[in-house]
Structure 1
Amino acid sequence: MSSIADIRKDYKLKALTEQQAKKDPIDQFSQWWEEAVAAEIEEVNAMTLATASSTGIPDARIVLLKEYDANGFVFFTNYTSAKGQQMEENPHATLVFFWKELERQVRISGRVERVSEEESDQYYNSRPEGSRIGAWASPQSQVIESREWLDQQDQQFRELFRSKPILRPPHWGGYRVKPVRIEFWQGRSNRLHDRLYYTLNQQGSWTMERLAP
Structure 2
Amino acid sequence: MTDPFELFRNWYDEARTTEPNDSNAMALATADAEARPSVRMVLLKGFDPRGFVFYTNRGSRKAGDLAANSHAALLFHWKSLRRQIRIEGPVSLASDEESDAYFATRSRDSQLGAWASDQSRPLDARSTFERRFEEVQQRFDGQPVPRPPFWGGYRVAPERMEFWQDRAHRLHERRLFVRDGGAWREGLLYP
Indicate the percent of aligned positions where both proteins have the same amino acid: 45
Partner letter of residue 67 of structure 2?
E
Match of 1:96 in 2: 75
Residue equivalent to 1:46: 25
Deviation (angstroms), 1:40: 4.5
1:115–1:175 contact (8 Å) kept in structure 2 = yes
2:100 corresponds in structure 1 to 121
RMSD between aligned alpha carbons?
0.9
Distance in 1 separating the partners of 2:17 and 2:105: 24
Which blocks of at least 5 consecutive residues in structure 2 are unaligned? none
Residue 136 (structure 1) aligned with residue 115 (structure 2) = yes
> Structure 1 stretch 94-103 or stretch 35-44: which is displaced more?
35-44
In the other structure, the counterpart of 2:135 is 156
Preserved contact between residue 19 and residue 80 of structure 2 (Cα < 8 Å): no
Structure with the greater alpha carbon radius of gyration: 1
TM-score, scaled relative to structure 1: 0.88
- 1:38 deviation in Å? 2.8
Cα distance in 1 between the residues matched to 2:145 and 2:80: 39
Measure, in 1, the Cα distance between the counterparts of 2:12 and 2:106: 23
1:206 counterpart (184, 187, 191)? 184
Partner of 1:12: none
Q: Determine the C-alpha separation between the residues in 2 that align with 1:120 and 1:50.
A: 21
Structure 1 segments (4+ residues) deviating >4 Å: none
**Which residue does 1:19 correspond to in 2?**
none
Kindly provide the CA deviation profile for residues 32-69 of structure 1, in whole angstroms up to 9, marking residues without a partner as x.
11211232542100000000001100000000001011
Count of matched residue pairs: 191
> What residue identity is the alignment partner of 2:187?
E
When normalised by structure 2's length, the TM-score is 0.98
CA distance in 2: counterparts of 1:54 and 1:149, whole angstroms: 31
Paired residue for 1:6? Answer: none
Q: Which runs of 5+ in 1 are unaligned?
A: 1-21
Structure 2 partner of 1:108: 87
Structure 1 residues 148-204: Cα deviation after superposition (integer angstroms, max 9, x where no partner): 1000000011111114331110100000100000000000111111000110012x1
Contact 1:182–1:197, Cα closer than 8 Å, also in 2: yes
Partner of residue 146, structure 2: 167
Q: Is the 1:41–1:99 contact (alpha carbons within 8 Å) kept by the matching residues of 2? A: no
Question: Following the alignment from structure 2 to structure 1, what is the Cα–Cα distance between the partners of residues 59 and 37?
Answer: 17
Question: What is the rounded CA distance, in whole Å, between the counterparts of 2:52 and 2:106 in structure 1?
Answer: 19
For 2:2, what is the secondary structure of its paired residue? coil
User: Contact conserved, 1:105 with 1:184, CA < 8 A, in 2?
Assistant: yes
